[in-house]
Structure 1
């Protein structure tokens, strides 16, 4: 009984560590994607400024939309945001990473 409890506790701890590491990898991957595709106009960090007047800072997007609701827009391809925003269509893996990153920087 005690051996089972210890084994279960160790297994749970390992799963938690693996989940945290995966979440960190997702956030890092998402940051790289938005640095490459979005940072020319949008503020993508926690305290930078958007260089395009019509491009909202990513850290404030949750004030406009539920972050998870953006998944569909990324899957279908974002064709309109600000007037000169380039077309961008993301894979499901990229979408998960972008949303993980965006969620990690939202202002409370």
Structure 2
């Protein structure tokens, strides 16, 4: 998580707060979104491991332009 300059290590920037709220609302039901823990859906990779499966540039583009996937259980954003 982020840190406001000169602030508490637990304080996060507004953009990070929005991203966390989005992930909790839309992703946490299947993916582990924290620094530890397992995904609720076994085949859903934890967010912390996505960079090992996909390039960071590809992930950034997918998140910016909308995620579309081939499997029916993952919503399209």
Superposition TM-score, scaled by structure 2 size: 0.69
Distance in 2, Cα, partners of 1:29 & 1:59: 18
SS of alignment partner, residue 37 of structure 2: coil
CA distance in 2, matches of 1:35, 1:53: 17
The answer to whether the aligner puts 1:35 opposite 2:24 as a matched pair is yes
Q: Which has the higher Rg, Structure 1 or Structure 2?
A: 1
Match of 1:85 among 68, 74, 77: 74
Normalized per residue, the structure richer in helix is: 1
- 1:36-75 alignment runs, 5 A limit: 36-75=25-64
Number of aligned positions between the proteins: 69
Runs of 4+ that moved beyond 6 A: none
Q: Which has the higher contact order (CA 8 A, sep 6+)?
A: 1
CA shift for structure 1 position 82: 4.8
The CA deviation at 1:41 is 0.4
Q: Structure 1 residue aligned with 2:15, among 26, 40, 45?
A: 26
> Alpha carbon RMSD of aligned pairs, Å?
2.4
Task: Report the secondary structure of 2:5's partner residue.
Answer: helix
1:72 shift after superposition: 1.7
TM-score, normalised on structure 1?
A: 0.52
